[in-house]
Each structure stands twice: as structure tokens, then as C-alpha cells.
A and B are shown apart, each in its own frame.
Chain A
Amino acid sequence: SQTIHQWPATLVQPVGSPLSLECTVEGTSNPNLYWYRQAAGRGLQLLFYSVGIGQISSEVPQNLSASRPQDRQFILSSKKLLLSDSGFYLCAWSLGQVAVGYTFGSGTRLTVV
């Protein structure tokens, strides 16, 4: 069966510090991978998606970047965090163009102080 792992679960970082969140998927090949952010009281905002190794599409201009160094690994990064980067970050995967639902990781609660 497929599983998705996301870590860390919580993170408190000072403004200006770097960020690296990692997401890995097991039990499937060539998944589509997604990073979402959920600010307090807000909906899920799609940040990045990837259809293959090294292929990254950005949905919104921002202070963050994403990379996919391996088929089942998706990394969200920042060189210098802003206060506005605080939120609940969720990684998700899906397969192909068929409109199947996403499966989400457990999320990372990021607080920038």
C-alpha cells in the first residue's frame, strides 16, 4: 500500500533562517507531488506541484522553492524565512491525469518568530 511521510511535524524558526521540509512517498512510482500551505483560518493554497524528477511548477510567487531530487522525494525550501511563511504545510500525492483524490501527508506546523 502507498504511504506518504512528511517531517518534521512542528517547527519554530526565527525570521531570516533557512527552511527545509521533506516529503517522501512509498509504494508507488512516478507520482504527482504537491505542496500546499494552509494559513490560520484559511483554505489550502497550492504552492508547487511536480510531475517528475526535476520538474517543478510554481503556482504563486513567493519566498519558497521546491525540488524533486528523486522520484518519490519532494522538498520545500527557503533561504530566508519571513513571518508570513508561518502556516500548516501539507505534502500530497496523486497518480496521472485521472481525477483521483489526493492523499495528504500529516503536515508540518511552521511558526516563524
Chain B
Amino acid sequence: GQNIDQPTEMTATEGAIVQINCTYQTSGFNGLFWYQQHAGEAPTFLSYNVLDGLEEKGRFSSFLSRSKGYSYLLLKELQMKDSASYLCAVSRLRGGATNKLIFGTGTLLAVQP
């Protein structure tokens, strides 16, 4: 089976930095994704890590440690529009079948003025 854990809610201040953690346990690991989802909308892709280390993309960075089953999403210079749910998702590849994304329950981030 698989298990993906991330905090339910977080609060941060505009202009600050916030780190959202995700731990996972799964077989057939084939990469970790972060998605952003605003209320009532579809998730949109933020980042992808398959090797250990940090991937930086503008104000957003994502880190992966495969040996620890751990990832984090780092958001810098927070803006009010960053208030959203952030979904950690693990890609699983089993027996040559297509990759499947298994999602955590998401972290609801509230950015305050």
C-alpha cells in the first residue's frame, strides 16, 4: 500500500517563507509531485522531483530525500494569491503499468496580511 502524510493546515504572513512537509511510504516510487489547488478549482502542477535534492522554480522550490521518504515545498516571498491547498503526490509504477499519481490529503495554506 501507500501512505502520504502532510499537515492539514498552515498559516503564514505575506512576504514570509513557508515550508510544507510531506512524508510518504510506497512501493514502485517513480517521482514526487507538488500541485496547487485553489478552492473549487482543479489542481495545477508546481514541481516534480525524482532524484534527491532541491529543484528551484522562481519563488517555489521542492526538495526530495528518497531514502527518508520525505519532501518539502518551499514558498518564498509569500503573496495573498498563494493561499490555496498544496497537494503532495507520489508517482507509482507497478509491473510496467502506467504511472499513477497517489495524492495526500493536501495542506491548506492561509496567507495573512
Within the complex, the shortest CB–CB distance from A30 to chain B, in Å, comes to: 11
Interface residues of B in 57-113 (CB under 8 A from A): 87, 89, 91, 93, 96-106
Chain B contacts for A92, CB-based, 8 A: 101
The count of residues in chain A whose C-beta lies closer than 8 Å to any C-beta of chain B is: 27
Tell me the number of A-to-B contacts counted with CB atoms below 8 Å.
63
Provide the bound-state CA to CA distance between A92 and B103, in Å: 13
Asked if B7 is at the interface (CB within 8 A of a chain A CB), the reply is no
Q: How many interface residues does chain B have, given as a range?
A: 20 to 34
Q: Are B99 and A44 in contact (CB under 8 A)?
A: no
* A43-B104, A43-B106 as given contacts; A104 in contact with B43, CB under 8 Å: yes
**A103-B45 CB under 8 A given contacts A43-B103, A51-B98:** yes
A94 touches B42 (CB 8 A): no
Select A46's contact among B43, B44, B102, beta carbons within 8 Å: B102
Counting from the closest, the 5 A-B pairs by CB-CB distance are A43-B105, A99-B31, A104-B42, A44-B103, A101-B45
**Given A32-B98, A99-B31, 4 more pairs with CB closer than 8 A:** A49-B100, A51-B98, A101-B35, A106-B42
Name 30 A/B residue pairs within 8 A (Cβ), A-sorted: A32-B99, A34-B100, A34-B101, A36-B103, A43-B104, A43-B105, A43-B106, A44-B87, A44-B103, A49-B98, A51-B97, A51-B98, A88-B40, A90-B42, A90-B43, A97-B93, A97-B96, A97-B99, A98-B99, A99-B30, A99-B50, A99-B91, A99-B93, A99-B99, A100-B48, A102-B45, A104-B42, A104-B43, A107-B42, A109-B40
